[in-house]
């Protein structure tokens, strides 16, 4: 039995690893809560329900020593962490209904002296709103619990290292809340803990991801200019980056994932007049996927005209970035779906994604087999294994993500 108990609400890509690290390195007893019974069952069986190097071993360790268990219902604890999804609604407005439902679910378990932290990426003002909700339902807790926001900035694939070593921004609804939350994270974070207020911490996360989105939009815009100008964009970027103060990112077939493709909308929907570069970056990155799909359709048409038969086309990669298994907001998936829907009569499509086993009833092909059989190879995600494919000049290669560069 440890001296501190934490309850994590949401056992997804972020909540579960944080719960595991808090239990294994923070000396904390953890109960992880998820509304999905399958996730709870898998977690209690020591099975990680997504790919993350090294994490399943840590999970097995904390399940075996009893410092982490999963449940479908919250329970009393010293601290509560909300790590549920924050998607957007139809018109790109943030949907904080999951955060609200999770907050309501812990209301009966909150006690004076508790810490309540939101980690979900949230629009500005969400932490204050949830504090108001808590205090309106449980007025006796006002001034008696700490309420704070602490965004997560880990890179999937490197989560164990980053959860411990990244700096964190922590913002409470008051100074005492900030200090209390910082004391918790100091248990397992060796990066710096930067204290601020809740609104700044919320905006900080949105700013980080919008900054990435804008920088990727610049690279994506360059890639389309270079295509028109007949210039190799990869060579161009490499040369431009030799300038000591230039650092251009790599283009891709769009921008995906649950963060960079989503969070900028939390700013643009609240500040449409002011957020002009951020909005333009979003539309460039969305357009890059449409442009990519058009390029593939044109290549199919060209092949049919030149060779008088349907090409075999290998669509290489479905997830939103290399070497993970996350399909959320993935432009590669969107492009593949569009091509499957529109080009089935014009081409034999083979879909390749080495990191998943099922995709909407579409048969997945091994990457070596697909490459060997294809007339046209379309690289949509730069998985490391694709780099091992020996280039065959008899094939048309469309490399939208730099597998060959």
Ligand X SMILES: NC(=O)c1ccc[n+]([C@@H]2O[C@H](COP(=O)([O-])OP(=O)(O)OC[C@H]3O[C@@H](n4cnc5c(N)ncnc54)[C@H](O)[C@@H]3O)[C@@H](O)[C@H]2O)c1
Q: Which of residues 106-125 bind ligand X (CB under 6 A)?
A: 120-121
User: Phi/psi of residue 356, each to 5°?
Assistant: -130, 160
Helix H or strand E encompassing 108:
none
Give 128's contacts (C-beta < 8 A, 6+ positions apart).
173, 198, 199
- Find out whether 315 and 330 touch, Cβ atoms under 8 Å: no
Give the x-and-dash track for 154-193 against ligand X (CB under 6 A): x-x-------------------------------------
Residues 354-383: x where in contact with ligand X by CB under 6 A, - otherwise, as a string:
------------------------------
Task: Identify which of residues 13 and 184 has a Cβ nearer to ligand X in the complex.
Answer: 13
Tell the smallest beta-carbon distance from residue 17 to ligand X (Å): 8
- Please identify which of the residues 7, 150, 253, 259 carries the catalytic annotation: 259
321 as an active site residue: the answer is no
**From the CB of 151, what's the least distance to ligand X, in Å?**
7
**H or E segment and range at residue 116:** strand 115-118
How many binding residues for ligand X (CB under 6 A)?
A: 27
Please identify which residue in 29, 52, 152, 213 interacts with ligand X, judged by CB under 6 A. 152
Between CA 356 and CA 157 the distance in angstroms is: 15
Q: At what angle do helices 97-106 and 126-137 cross, to 10 degrees?
A: 30
Question: Which range of residues in 7-15, 22-30, 289-297, 361-369 is near ligand X by CB under 6 A?
Answer: 7-15
205 is catalytic: yes
Half-sphere exposure of 261 (CA within 13 A, CB side): 19
Q: Which part of the chain contacts ligand X (CB under 6 A), choosing from 30-38, 166-174, 218-226, 234-242?
A: 30-38
Rounded CA-CA distance 59/283 in Å is 40
Of the candidate residues 168, 258, 334, 383, the single one contacting ligand X (CB under 6 A): 258
Question: What does the alpha-carbon distance between residue 154 and residue 52 come to, in Å, rounded to a whole number?
Answer: 12
Q: Is 39 in the site for ligand X (CB under 6 A)?
A: yes
Give the C-alpha separation, 308 to 311, whole Å: 9
Cβ-in-10-Å burial (0-12, 13-18, 19+) of 254 comes to buried
- For ligand X, give the closer residue by CB, 40 or 299: 40
Nearest residue (beta carbon) to ligand X: 12
Burial of 310 (0-12, 13-18, 19+ CB in 10 A): middle
Q: Contact between 321 and ligand X (CB under 6 A)?
A: no
- Please tell me whether residue 35 binds ligand X under the rule CB under 6 A: yes
> Which is nearest to 39 in space by CA: 31, 52, 48?
48
Partner residues linked to 117 by β-bridges: 81, 148
Dist. CA 56–CA 308, nearest whole Å:
51
What is the number of other CB atoms lying within 10 angstroms of the CB of residue 344? Answer: 10
Report, in Å, the least distance between residue 86 CB and ligand X.
4
* Closer residue to ligand X (CB): 217 or 259: 259
Our finding on whether 322 is near ligand X (CB under 6 A) is: no
Which residue in the set 6, 7, 15, 289 belongs to the binding site for ligand X (CB under 6 A)? 15
Here the tokens at position 26 are 């923070």
**Residue 232 beta carbon to ligand X: minimum distance, rounded to whole angstroms:** 31
Nearer to ligand X, 23 or 376 (CB): 23
Shortest Å, Cβ 85 to ligand X: 4
CB atoms within 10 A of CB 358: 9
Residue 110 DSSP label:
-
Q: Is 10 in the site for ligand X (CB under 6 A)?
A: yes
| Residues 216-230 as b or e (16 or more Cβ within 10 Å = b) | bbebbbbbbebeeee
Q: Which is nearer to ligand X, 77 or 83 (CB)?
A: 83
- With respect to ligand X, which residue has the nearer C-beta, 74 or 172? 74
**Shortest distance in whole angstroms from residue 256 CB to ligand X:** 11
Residue among 70 and 350 whose Cβ is closer to ligand X: 70
Scan residues 48-107 and list those touching ligand X (CB under 6 A). Answer: 83-86, 98, 101-102, 105
Instruction: Just list the catalytic residues.
Output: 205, 259
Q: Which residues bind ligand X (CB under 6 A)?
A: 9-15, 33-36, 39, 83-86, 98, 101-102, 105, 120-121, 152, 154, 156, 258-259
């Amino acid at each position: 039995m440890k001296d501190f108990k934490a309850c994590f609400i949401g056992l997804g890509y972020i909540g579960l690893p944080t719960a595991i690290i808090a239990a294994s390195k923070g000396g904390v007893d953890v109960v992880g809560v998820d509304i999905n019974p399958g996730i709870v069952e898998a977690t209690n069986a020591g099975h990680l329900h997504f790919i993350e190097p090294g994490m399943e071993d840590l999970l097995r360790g904390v399940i075996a020593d009893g410092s982490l268990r999963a449940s479908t219902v919250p329970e009393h604890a010293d601290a509560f962490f909300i790590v549920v999804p924050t998607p957007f609604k139809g018109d790109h407005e943030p949907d904080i209904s999951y955060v609200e439902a999770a907050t309501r679910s812990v209301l009966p378990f909150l006690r004076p002296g508790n810490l309540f932290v939101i980690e979900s990426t949230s629009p500005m003002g969400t932490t204050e709103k949830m504090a108001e909700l808590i205090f309106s339902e449980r007025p006796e807790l006002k001034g008696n619990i700490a309420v704070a926001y602490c965004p997560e900035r880990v890179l999937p694939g490197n989560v164990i290292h980053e959860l411990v070593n990244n700096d964190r921004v922590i913002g409470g609804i008051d100074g005492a809340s900030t200090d209390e939350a910082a004391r918790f994270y100091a248990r397992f974070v060796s990066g710096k803990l930067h204290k601020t207020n809740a609104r700044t911490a919320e905006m900080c996360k949105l700013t980080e991801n919008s900054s990435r989105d804008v920088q990727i939009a610049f690279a994506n815009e360059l890639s389309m200019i270079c295509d028109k100008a007949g210039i190799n964009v990869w060579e161009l970027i490499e040369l431009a980056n030799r300038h000591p103060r230039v650092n251009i990112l790599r283009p891709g077939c769009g921008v995906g994932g649950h963060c960079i493709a989503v969070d900028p909308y939390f700013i643009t929907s609240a500040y449409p007049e002011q957020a002009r570069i951020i909005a333009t970056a979003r539309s460039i990155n969305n357009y890059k996927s449409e442009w990519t799909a058009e390029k593939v359709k044109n290549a199919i048409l060209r092949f049919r005209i030149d060779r008088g038969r349907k090409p075999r086309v290998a669509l290489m990669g479905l997830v939103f970035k290399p070497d993970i298994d996350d399909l959320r907001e993935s432009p590669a998936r969107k492009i593949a779906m569009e091509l499957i829907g529109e080009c089935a009569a014009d081409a034999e499509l083979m879909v390749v994604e080495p990191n998943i086993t099922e995709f909407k009833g579409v048969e997945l092909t091994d990457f070596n087999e697909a490459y060997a059989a294809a007339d046209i190879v379309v690289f949509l995600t730069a998985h490391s294994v694709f780099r091992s494919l020996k280039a065959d000049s008899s094939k048309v290669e469309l490399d939208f993500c730099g597998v060959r560069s």
